Chains A and B, each alone.
Chain A
Amino acid sequence: MKLTELAIGQIARIASVEESPFKEKLQEMGCIAGVLIKPILKAPFGDPIAYELEEYTLSMRCNEADSIVVRPLDPLFNIS
């Protein structure tokens, strides 16, 4: 599923980042397949969204987040 489809607080693992003019930027910022990501905060009007990515907070527009494919972790895993 797409990164934008995650609910706030739902942890997922990045599966892939689609080709786009900002793919390189996303990767540099740490959006790499296998990394854990969690939406934590929505701006007013729901866009952009801030994500907890490893050890820091990265914000991006929904347009950019749509290019990131994620696999949500097992809900049991989410309790932590």
Chain B
Amino acid sequence: MSITRKIVLAGNPNCGKSSLFNQLTGLKQKITNVPGTTIENKEGSYKVGSTQIKLIDTPGTYSFNPKSLDEKEAVKVFFEDIPPQTILYIADAANLKRNLFYFSQLAQHNIPMVLALNMLDIADFKGFEIDIDRLEKELGIRVFKINARTGEGTDAIKKALAEEQFVPHYAFGSELDHTHETHYDAISKLLNKTTTLKSKRELISNKIDAYATHPILGYLMFLVVLLVIFQSVFTLASYPMDWIETGFATLSELLSDLLPDGWLKRLVINGLIAGIAGVVVFVPQIAILFFFMGLLEDTGYMARVSFIMDKMLRGLGLSGKSVVPLLSGAACAIPAIMSTRNIENWKDRLITIMVTPLMSCSARLPVYTLLISMAIPSTMIFGVVDLQALVMLAMYVLGTVAALAAAVVFKWLIKHDIPSYFIMELPIYHPPRWNNIWINCWQKSLSFVTEAGKVILIVSVVLWFLASYGPTAESNLELKQAGKIEESYAGHFGKAIEPSIKPLGFNWKIGISLITSFAAREVFVGTMSTIYSVGDEENFEQIREKMNKDTDENGKPIYTLAVVLSLMVFFAFAMQCMSTLAVVYKETKTWKWPTIQFVYMTALAYLGSWIVFNLFQ
């Protein structure tokens, strides 16, 4: 019979915890939801003989009294109905004192523990020598030397976790006295007995920081990093995106041959497949962006960006820690909003959540591409920059400026007593741990597909129904035979809202597209191609031609420069993403904030479009 042992992996941030987890479990990992919360824990497993080891990874934490949401989830596993059989605690040997503080708090809970010392090479470089035997004796538990990067020493841990372990018996405090001072005092005494400092050398990290945080070079470096990332996102992602599009096109052709004519065929091809394709096509862009974000975080550079951006962002009601969510927002607001969990201050976090969807996400890209190609000539400015590229860049700037401006407004509106603080470790620079970066990138992309995918799929099917069926039998016939989308439910909605969007220069056809793009913004392009009866969705040329030829009852063209710009501004500001609203609800645990977000962004979009339309009219 096999036995299952539940082991929790704990430790400070930046101590190599993810590396160890990946070394121990390989790719046998899954993300599990703690019931009733948004909290996610990573779970992995492996086998030693007949013993099954279930290893639960927790987010890196500095103490047992959690400050931020991701620290709270780390601590939660110790209070579950079945407490873990053993805690595997990993510590950075080069910074043992602070790393042992959380250890000292966990050591009071009567749970057996195992200590893994990582980064011994850096400790050695710094001149630290650790007497492992002495440390084992003092603590009363087993201590292992490991190198989480290479996997050295992890086999011994694998075996040890299959056996009964010991509860630490070192007294970090007394029955009544558990202040931070007594714990740190006890740790100092322990380290005096077990470690010696031979020499002291300065790490190269400090030399890099002189440039990375330099008042001019530091920002310049960050700007170059951003440019490289965005350039790569656009150029590298275009190839896999082409393959995905071709793949889905082939699939729907195949299915249309296989399935009998009828509603089922239309549902599968125009509803389901189109919906899934709409989600999957963004995966390359999102994965590449997360790859770079992971790279920047893993090497330690992201902490420096937070460090140099904090002062500026603070004035806007944000914090240095808002940098990661805002940048991720350029890929997709959903994972970006989930990454706000490490912001301790509730107000800072809430403002970051509220403004992140204004950052120009990848779903807006196809909309901008179509609209820009309709109204903006591709001419060279000063012989170097394409005007179309310049307008695209302007849309990104517009989104960023709007996000920062909205943050200032929320800073004034939201009342909160607890002052914000910024107390953050600057980890030493590491060469990238590719394995961790790949796994992280894979898991984040997967969570995008599942989180956004669910909502987009459902909404796509609903919208497909609304666009394919009408209220009466005649309208259904018209729809089927002449493809007259105005006869459908969606068409009726579009006509119904026409009076309210007329001031923005939009007609009922645009109205339909605005409604359908509430599933996801890029649906706009698909709807336009349906309205103008263009078979091939991705054929921008054809859609553009037909849209440009469209005229109103007086024979004047509909898509003037004013209308197109107005439409672009509308897409820049409007909250047209159900999946994001669902995530905001999950993260704030109330409908209040997603409602406010929807209302303020829609109002901003309406106002912005109205101004732009009237300016260019």
- A→B interface (CB under 8 Å): 21-22, 24-30, 32-33, 35, 40-45, 47-48, 50, 53-61, 63-64, 80
Which of B218, B303, B314, B421 has a CB less than 8 Å from the CB of A25? B421
Is B265 part of the contact surface with A, judged by Cβ < 8 Å?
no
Which of B96, B184, B418 has a CB less than 8 Å from the CB of A21? B418
Complex: how many Å from CA A47 to CA B311?
6
Which of A45, A55, A60 has a CB less than 8 Å from the CB of B423? A60
Which of A32, A44, A45, A50 has a CB less than 8 Å from the CB of B180? A32
* CB <8 Å contact, A41 and B419: no
Which of A21, A40, A41, A48 has a CB less than 8 Å from the CB of B310? A48
B43-79 Cβ-contact flags toward A at 8 Å (1 or 0)? 0000000000000000000110101000000000000
Using Cβ atoms and an 8 Å threshold, which residues of chain B touch A27? 180-181, 184
Complex: how many Å from CA A21 to CA B314?
18
Within 8 A of A (CB), among B369-428: 418-419, 421-428
* CB <8 Å contact, B126 and A25: no
Q: A24-B65, A58-B426 are in contact. Are A63 and B307 (CB under 8 A)?
A: no
Q: Looking at chain B, what size class is its interface with the partner chain?
A: 35 or more
Q: A26-B423, A30-B184, A58-B425 are in contact. Are A44 and B62 (CB under 8 A)?
A: no
* CB <8 Å contact, A61 and B425: no
Is B170 part of the contact surface with A, judged by Cβ < 8 Å?
no
Using Cβ atoms and an 8 Å threshold, which residues of chain A touch B98? 29-30, 53-56
Using Cβ atoms and an 8 Å threshold, which residues of chain B touch A42? 213
Using Cβ atoms and an 8 Å threshold, which residues of chain A touch B200? 80
Residue in B closest to A62 when the chains form the complex, CB atoms: B311
Complex: how many Å from CA A73 to CA B219?
34
Which of B62, B96, B303, B311 has a CB less than 8 Å from the CB of A29? B62
Using Cβ atoms and an 8 Å threshold, which residues of chain A touch B303? 59
Q: List 12 A-B contacts (CB under 8 A).
A: A21-B419, A29-B98, A43-B311, A44-B219, A55-B94, A56-B425, A56-B427, A58-B426, A59-B422, A59-B426, A60-B422, A63-B419
Using Cβ atoms and an 8 Å threshold, which residues of chain B touch A44? 213-215, 218-219, 308, 311
Complex: how many Å from CA A55 to CA B206?
13
Residue in A closest to B426 when the chains form the complex, CB atoms: A57
* CB <8 Å contact, A22 and B423: yes
Using Cβ atoms and an 8 Å threshold, which residues of chain B touch A21? 418-419, 421
Q: Please report whether the interface of chain A is mostly helix, strand, loop or mixed according to DSSP.
A: mixed
* CB <8 Å contact, A48 and B181: no
* CB <8 Å contact, A28 and B95: no
- Tell me the smallest distance from the CB of B310 to a CB of chain A, in Å: 6
Complex: how many Å from CA A57 to CA B203?
11
* CB <8 Å contact, A63 and B421: yes
Is B97 part of the contact surface with A, judged by Cβ < 8 Å?
yes
B75-118 Cβ-contact flags toward A at 8 Å (1 or 0)? 00000000000000000001111100100000000000000000
Q: A35-B184, A56-B95, A61-B423 given. 6 additional CB < 8 A pairs?
A: A27-B184, A42-B213, A44-B214, A50-B307, A57-B427, A60-B424
Is B209 part of the contact surface with A, judged by Cβ < 8 Å?
yes
* CB <8 Å contact, B215 and A54: no
* CB <8 Å contact, B180 and A24: yes
* CB <8 Å contact, B422 and A41: no
Complex: how many Å from CA A53 to CA B307?
17
Using Cβ atoms and an 8 Å threshold, which residues of chain A touch B205? 57
Using Cβ atoms and an 8 Å threshold, which residues of chain B touch A22? 419, 421, 423
* CB <8 Å contact, B421 and A61: yes
B201-222 Cβ-contact flags toward A at 8 Å (1 or 0)? 0000110011001110011000
Complex: how many Å from CA A61 to CA B311?
9
Which of B63, B219, B424 has a CB less than 8 Å from the CB of A59? B424
Residue in A closest to B210 when the chains form the complex, CB atoms: A41
Using Cβ atoms and an 8 Å threshold, which residues of chain B touch A45? 215, 311-312
For the complex of A and B, list the 9 residue pairs with the smallest distance between their C-beta atoms, beginning with the closest: A27-B180, A44-B215, A57-B426, A28-B63, A22-B421, A55-B95, A56-B95, A30-B98, A32-B184
* CB <8 Å contact, A28 and B101: yes
Most chain A C-beta atoms within 10 Å of own C-beta, residue among B94, B126, B311: B311
Using Cβ atoms and an 8 Å threshold, which residues of chain B touch A30? 97-98, 101, 184
Q: A30-B101, A33-B181, A41-B209 are in contact. Are A64 and B311 (CB under 8 A)?
A: no
Q: A24-B65, A30-B184 are in contact. Are A61 and B97 (CB under 8 A)?
A: no
Using Cβ atoms and an 8 Å threshold, which residues of chain B touch A43? 213, 307-308, 310-311
- Tell me the smallest distance from the CB of B250 to a CB of chain A, in Å: 53
Q: A32-B181, A63-B421 are in contact. Are A55 and B96 (CB under 8 A)?
A: yes
Complex: how many Å from CA A48 to CA B422?
8
Complex: how many Å from CA A41 to CA B181?
27
